[in-house]
Amino acid sequence: MAGAECYHCKQWIEEGEPHDCWTTTEAALTADLSEDLRDAWERLRETAVDFGEQRIYASHHSIMFSRKACYFFVRPKRSFLEVCIFLPRAVKAPQVRHVVASSKTKVANMIQLRHRDEVESPITDWLREAYEYSASAQKAARKARPTGRTRSKPKAKRSRKAAKKR
């Protein structure tokens, strides 16, 4: 049978068979979690849902939480949940494993969670701060964008001869 191996997921795809390895679900990403990690995941998700209106979706190996832009995401691993919280600052705390500047205004703070009891303050405070910052950052970005095109008229070019006469 003719077919090919998907470059991303390494799955064998028969010729003519539809395939989209980037499509996944929360259930698929959390299916193999241990009981402790599943409890931590559920508590983390419940905490985020309580913040207010947002979009929660799975993308490749992560579960994203966003308003207009992602304010945090969770990457389920075998022995921990990798949580990335986007804040306007780097957090200096023992829970934060790694900090990466992700844009001009956002810093990604990486955290590893292994148990439900870890989903409490200060982590929940940072999540709320990220949720609120994402809304204020969007408003600031809208104000900074120009609404209409205003261009000054181009200056008339002088010929070389006219420039030499001066």
Bridging pattern class, strands 107-113 and 96-101: antiparallel
Whether residue 9 lies inside any domain: the answer is: no
CA separation for the pair 65, 23 (Å, rounded): 16
79 lies in some domain: yes
**Domain membership of residue 110 as a residue range:** 23-138
Give the helix/strand (H/E) hosting 165.
helix 160-165
In this prediction, what percent of the chain has a pLDDT beyond 70?
77
Domain count for the chain:
1
Residue 148 belongs to some domain of the structure: no
Domain membership of residue 155 (yes or no) is no
- Give a yes or no: residue 89 inside a domain: yes
User: What is each CA distance from 78 to 25, 30, 32, 92, 109, in whole angstroms?
Assistant: 17, 10, 8, 26, 20
Residues 50-74: pLDDT tens digits? 999 999 998 888 999 999 889 999 9
Q: How far is CA 29 from CA 71, 79, 93, 106, in A?
A: 19, 13, 28, 26
Q: Is residue 158 part of a domain?
A: no
Chain segment 104-134, per-residue pLDDT in tens? 999 999 999 999 999 999 999 999 999 999 8
Residue 31's domain is classified under what CATH number?
3.30.1460
